[in-house]
Every structure is written in C-alpha cells, then in structure tokens.
Amino acid sequence: MLFDLIRAVPVALLVGLVPGYFWARVLAATDDLAERLAYAIALSVTLVPAVALIFSSISGTGVTPVISLVSITLVFFAGLAARLAFGTAKGPAGPVAPLPPAPGVVTLAPLCLALLLALGTFFGLVGGWAMIPAAVLVVVSGVLYRISLRRGDGTEERPEERREDASPALVYGLLSAALVLALARGYLGPIFNGWPFPRGVDRYEHAIMTTMMAEGGSTESFMLYPPGFHALSAMISNLSGLEPMALFPALAPALLALMSLSSYALAARLWGRPAGVAAAFLSGPVLGGAYLHFAEARYPNFVGEQVIIIVAVAALIGMYANPTVRAGLLLAVLGSSAVFYHQISGYVMAVLLAVVALFFLPYLLLRHRGTGLALLGSLALLFVMAAAFAWDTYDLPDLVAGLFGDSAETGRGGEAVAMAIGTKPANHPTYLLVTITAPVLWLGLLGAMMLAPRRSDGTAARLAHLTLIVWAALLFVGSQTSYSGFPDRFDRDLGAPLALLAAPVLVLLLGAAPRLVPSRAALAVTLAAALLSAGLLVVQTTRNLEEAAGPSERPKDRPATPEVAAAGAWLEENNEGGSIVATPYLDYVPSRGMLAMGGYTEMQSYDYARILRARDLPPFGRGPLLDSLWLLKHPTGEKTRRIMQENDVRYVIFHKRYPGISWLPYAQQKDLYEVAYQNESVVIFEPRDA
C-alpha cells in the first residue's frame, strides 16, 4: 500500500496540479493559496488530458508515456510563458458578498427544535416521519428571519461592520483538519477491508477504459463516456507504472479531500475564508452523496460533479464581481470541462448556464453593460469549447441533424438520452437524509432562505446567491422525477450546493458573539443553536468515519472473493490477446470484473433482463450481448463457432453457481474444450482450436 502511494502521489501531482499552477496565477484573481490550488487542479485536469488526446489523435496511438510527458511539459511551459508575459490576475481583495445578518432569537427558536428532531432521527429516537416537521420548522425559521430583516428587528450586526478576524494560521489549520478528515473517510475502508482493491463495482469498467485509452486512445467501442477521466488516469498509470486496478485504490480516496478544497474555494471567494472552512467541513467529511460516488467507484461522476462544477461556479461568481477577459477565459475553460468528464456534469452545467443566459444575462446587459458583454463573450466561448469536447463522444453532427432535420437518426448521444429518460424511478424524499445528511440538509435549506436576494446586496452578491439557489433547485427537481434520466445521481449531487448554502449559516451560528445578544434568554437560545449545530455535525462526521472503516454495504462494491480474484490473476498471467466471455456475475463481481482483472476489453455479458431493460447499453447495442449469452448456453453448433471466430474468444469463464447458466455442458464437450483453470467457485474453459 505504502509503495503504491509513493509511486502514485508524486505522479498525480505532476499531472493534476503542477501544469495548471501558472495558469491559475494568470486567470484566477486570488491571493489565497488554497483557492489557487483548487483552480490549478481544475485547470490541470482539463488542459493536460485535452492536449494528450489531441496528440493521440494526430499520432494514431493511445495516450502513451511519451505523449503524457509532452502534454504535461507543453501545458506547464505555456502557463509559465503566459505568467511572464501577462503577469498575475488582479481583482477585488475581499469576498464577493458579506455574510448575511446574524439570525435573532425568534429565528433560532424553531431552528433549535428542528435540530433536536434531526438528532432524534439520527439516534433512532424518532422515525423518518420527523423529516416533515423538521422541514416545516426550518422553513418557519427562514420566514421569520426574512420578516425580521424587513422590520429591522433583532440584534443583527450590519454587514459593513463585520470584518473577517480569523488569522490565516487558524484558517489553514482548520482547513487542514477538514482535509485530513476527508482523507481519513476515503482511505479507512480500503486499508481495513481489502487493499489493493478499491471499493465500488464501477472500478472494473473504469480500469478497462483506462487501459483502452492508454493502448488505443479511445473507449468508443466499450461505453459511451467522455474521455477526460480515462485519459487522465491513463497518463498517471503510464508514468507511475501502476495498473489501473492498483492505481485507483491509491488515489481515488483523495477525491473526497479534493471536493473539500473545491468547496472552500467557492465559499471563500463568495463570503470569506471562515465560510470556506465551514464548506470544507460540510462537504468531504459530512456529505453522504459524495461518499456514495466514491464508494461505488463512480470516479468520472465525482470529478465532474463534485469538483469541476463547484470550481466552475466559483469562476462564474468571480465573473459577476470582476468581469475581465481573464475571468471570462477561466469560466469558459472550467465550465466547458464539465462535458469532458461526465454526461451528468455536462447536463447540469448546461441547464444552469441556460438559466444564467436566459434570466441573468439580459438583466446585466440592460443594467450593467460591461459585465453583461463580458459574460456573453465568456458563455459564447464556453459553448464552442463544450461543443468541441462533446463533438465525437456524443456524435453531435448526427444528434443535431436528427433533432432539427428530417433524419430520425440522432447518433450515439441521442440514443443514450432516449434509453435513459423515464427508466429509473426517483428515490423517496427521506433518502435525502442519506445522500445529503441532516446537518447539510437543514442548514442548507435555511441558508437558501437567508441568502435570498435583498435590495441592500450588491448586484454581484445577489446574482451569486441566486446562482447557488438555482443550482440546488435544479438538482432537487431532477432528483424527484424519472424524466431527468438519472434521479439517483441528482439527489447525490444536490449535497454540493446545499453544503455551500449551509456554510455561512454554520459560521453565523458558531461565531455568534455575546455582544449581539440582548438578554440571557436570547443568549441561551443562541448557544443552544450553536451547540446543536456543532453536535449534529460532530456525530454525523463520527458515524461517517465509522461506516467508512467498515465493509461496503453492497456486496458488489466489496473486493472480489479470493476465488474470483485468483481466476482473474490466472487470466492476466495467461493473456495472449483475443477476448473472453464470462457469466454476467461471479460472486457479485460483474463480467467486466473478469475483463479488468484479466486485462481484456471484450466480450461484455449482461443478464437477459438487463438487456431487455435497454438502459446504459454499450454503444454496439444488444447484438454482442446476446451473442455472449448464446455462447455461454450453447457450447456447440454453427452459431457458436461463428461467434467464437468473429470475436477471437480464447476463454469461456463460468461461476459454478450462477443461476440459469450451467458450466456442465462445456465440461461434457471434452473434445472441444479443456479445463484450463478451476477452483471452488470458478471454472475456465479453453477451446482446443483456439
């Protein structure tokens, strides 16, 4: 484990941080080192894989070690040249918006009751039904807060009197603690439950596509996936010498800390460093949905939706306050890169920016022409770059022709959308307590109400707050309807904007000063709200760490059984090319697991019900999947011989107890097949004429 980390971490920094550092200095107007590092990482993981894919396409090879080194060098020195030629970006020194006024005792009383119900639900004292009165109490608290602002009642401190008094040492110390907790949450599980295999069933498909990217420069024949993550993984794998199945457990757990850093960057830019620290604690260590992405090995989802979009929204907010050419370039690059990493992140980014373009941009063009024109130019460039990223992956020419022309064909992109819409039901609303967790859900809901725009706020602050609220609202709507195509992804991603909306509320509750409280009763309510918020945060983080240190809840997300792992190792040792066919599952390990462990890329096999469901099918459609099932059930016959010859099948692998598919018919054909390997669970047949 330690040796893998020593090999992987320096290379990951070389690929995913160093090349973007000078670009961050040139494009991002900030003096905050942590914020700059977040931008540097986002720029690196966008620019370096994009350049590598261009070289790969020109050379007709995969993302090789030479291409990896050339891409890193080119991006790094181009950034250095830009830094020397144009200098660092300049902008406002302070945050975009002040913290909202501190809530008074009338606001805090119903909030305390809601937090008490949340703690009761957490410890099992009350059932999930308590979510309804808790939500009502939080909404009542928000309404009372807005009423108090209109009346001018309470003891709220005026924004212009508030100053950020936290020292940089304290801020970075607390931020470091948040990052350590996020790292612990990620690494405890793999360390105690099966290193070197990472968690998550999707690890197998990403290992296969990383290998395909390194060897051929494309994953088109395997799955419809944007190339960003697999190009990045291929580069790190090439330069570290670690196979993808060893690389992921070494680096994937660090994604949770990367989310905390990205959340810090956005919240610090918007409200100041204390809010940034609060956002860092509320995201990586606390959020449930982000951890589920990691625990199920949905790495491109995580990078696209929990890192790229957060930093892109930070760039958009920076554009409201500092509409320069550099800020516009930063927004264009980061906003378009959401398409480069995952379908859902591109989808969410597109819808959010559509709202910005339809409602915010006209207002800016009418009232603040300079800002509006700068934003218009940035969005236009973003659209062009996003189209370039999506051109080949989603077959944009055929998609556009099918949507606006006479052709009924919409290409791979249209087919993927059609097979997803309406095919997955939404989770029950109470599931939000799992994917978001109580402290983020309730404080985030209150934050959305507290941050609703006020006349006293500046234009940049109002637009920034509206952007976060719209982002959260879009994800909530998507999480509650099957017509979004991916309601389960949306309810997990909803935690990201809610954690950001909760950050200023947490700062106000924990930082309430006695001088703001007019009476002992008010002081008692204020302290109760602070203690309940802190207590809920602590117990949630503690439980998260305990659960992270245990085995995965879903058996298919756990490491492969020793028998299946041994069969995979045998396949890797005896891999001389060609393809294999395996039963759809082997002790919860999908057939893709055997492909990944053995170093193969085809043939895939699904169970018949999943083929009929027609959701998330590979680009080649049902035909090859049905061929795999035929081959597993029919050891002889002309069709079997044709399938084996066309696909160069070298081995046929069975789980001995797989329901509905027996390995005995193959064992009976001793003149056609020999047993190449077997153990208690797995048997591998080799055609004698292979």
Cβ atoms of 178 and 284 within 8 Å: the answer is yes
Reduced to 3 states (helix: H, G, I; strand: E, B; else coil), residue 650 is strand
Cβ atoms of 471 and 501 within 8 Å: the answer is no
pLDDT confidence of 488, banded at 50, 70, 90? confident
Residue 302 has pLDDT above 50, yes or no: yes
Cβ atoms of 264 and 175 within 8 Å: the answer is yes
108 located within any domain: no
Residue 679 shares a structural domain with residue 610: yes
Residue 495 shares a structural domain with residue 568: no
- For the chain, percent of residues with pLDDT exceeding 70: 92
112 located within any domain: no
| Pure H helices in 193-308 | 203-216, 228-240, 244-251, 255-271, 273-283, 288-295, 299-301
pLDDT confidence of 518, banded at 50, 70, 90? low
Least confident residue range of 255-259, 314-318, 397-401, 683-687: 397-401
* pLDDT the model gives residue 612: 83
For the stretch 69-103, pLDDT in tens is 999 999 999 999 999 999 999 988 789 999 999 89
Residue 604 shares a structural domain with residue 458: no
507 located within any domain: no
Identity of the amino acid at 300: P
Distance CA 325, CA 536 (A): 43
Residue 580 shares a structural domain with residue 432: no
198 or 88, greater pLDDT: 88
Residue 575 shares a structural domain with residue 472: no
* pLDDT the model gives residue 160: 41
**Parallel, antiparallel or unpaired: strands 649-655 and 579-582:** parallel
Residue 596 has pLDDT above 90, yes or no: yes
Reduced to 3 states (helix: H, G, I; strand: E, B; else coil), residue 175 is helix
pTM of the predicted protein model: 0.93
127 located within any domain: no
pLDDT confidence of 389, banded at 50, 70, 90? confident
User: Could you say which of 481, 501, 521 is where a domain stops?
Assistant: 501
* pLDDT the model gives residue 70: 97
197 located within any domain: yes
For the stretch 407-463, pLDDT in tens is 555 555 555 555 667 667 888 888 888 899 999 999 999 999 999 988 878 999 999
User: Could you say which of 501, 518, 548 is where a domain stops?
Assistant: 501
Alpha carbon separation from 460 to 52, 468, 593 (Å, rounded) = 37, 13, 49
Query: Could you give phi then psi for residue 568, rounded to 5 degrees?
Result: -65, -40
Question: Closest Cα partner for 619 from 185, 225, 305?
Answer: 225
126 located within any domain: no
Residue 434 shares a structural domain with residue 316: yes
* pLDDT the model gives residue 161: 42
DSSP 128: G
Distance CA 647, CA 666 (A): 19
524 located within any domain: no
In the chain, % helix, strand, coil (3-state, to 5) comes to: 70, 5, 25
Q: Which residues contact 170 (CB under 8 A, 6 or more apart)?
A: none
Question: Closest Cα partner for 26 from 304, 244, 329, 297?
Answer: 329
* pLDDT the model gives residue 598: 94
How confident is the model over 327-343, as a mean pLDDT? 95
Question: Closest Cα partner for 110 from 101, 99, 118, 121?
Answer: 118
* pLDDT the model gives residue 180: 98
* pLDDT the model gives residue 159: 42
* pLDDT the model gives residue 313: 98
* pLDDT the model gives residue 50: 96
Distance CA 146, CA 158 (A): 15
Cis amide linkage into residue 603, ω under 30° from 0: yes
Distance CA 219, CA 580 (A): 18
Residue 373 buriedness (CB in 10 A; 0-12 / 13-18 / 19+): middle
* pLDDT the model gives residue 444: 97
Distance CA 610, CA 632 (A): 16
Mean model confidence pLDDT for the chain? 90
Question: Listing from the earlier edge strand, what are the strands of the sheet with 682-687?
Answer: 579-582, 649-655, 682-687, 673-678
* pLDDT the model gives residue 659: 93
* pLDDT the model gives residue 391: 81
Cβ atoms of 308 and 336 within 8 Å: the answer is no
Distance CA 626, CA 629 (A): 5
Residue 494 shares a structural domain with residue 567: no
Residue 487 shares a structural domain with residue 567: no
Distance CA 621, CA 223 (A): 10
Among 189-193, 334-338, 486-490, the range with the most confident prediction by mean pLDDT is 334-338
Residue 604 shares a structural domain with residue 472: no
* pLDDT the model gives residue 405: 58
400 or 313, greater pLDDT: 313
Residue 299 shares a structural domain with residue 428: yes
Identity of the amino acid at 276: G
**Burial track 635-660 (b if 16+ CB lie within 10 A, e otherwise):** beeeebeebbeebebbbbbbbbebee
User: Could you say which of 501, 535, 550 is where a domain stops?
Assistant: 501
Element (H, E) at 684: strand 682-687
Residue 572 shares a structural domain with residue 489: no
Strands in 487-631 per DSSP E = 579-582, 585-586, 589-590
pLDDT confidence of 177, banded at 50, 70, 90? very high
Among 267-276, 447-456, 617-626, the range with the most confident prediction by mean pLDDT is 267-276
What would the two tokens of residue 430 be?
């109470």
Number of domains in the chain: 2
What sign results for the dihedral spanned by CA atoms 316, 322, 323, 324?
A: negative
Residue 313 shares a structural domain with residue 237: yes
The boundaries of the domain holding residue 216 are 2-98+169-393+424-501
- What is the number of residues in the chain? 690
Distance CA 56, CA 51 (A): 9
Cis amide linkage into residue 659, ω under 30° from 0: no
How confident is the model over 589-617, as a mean pLDDT? 88
Distance CA 307, CA 256 (A): 9
Alpha carbon separation from 404 to 217, 396, 397, 409, 414 (Å, rounded) = 31, 12, 11, 11, 12
632 or 127, greater pLDDT: 632
495 located within any domain: yes
pLDDT confidence of 542, banded at 50, 70, 90? very high
What sign results for the dihedral spanned by CA atoms 645, 647, 648, 654?
A: negative
Give the CATH number of the domain where residue 605 resides. 3.40.50
Identity of the amino acid at 142: G
In a 13 Å sphere around the CA of 495, the CA atoms on its Cβ side amount to 34
Residue 608 has pLDDT above 50, yes or no: yes
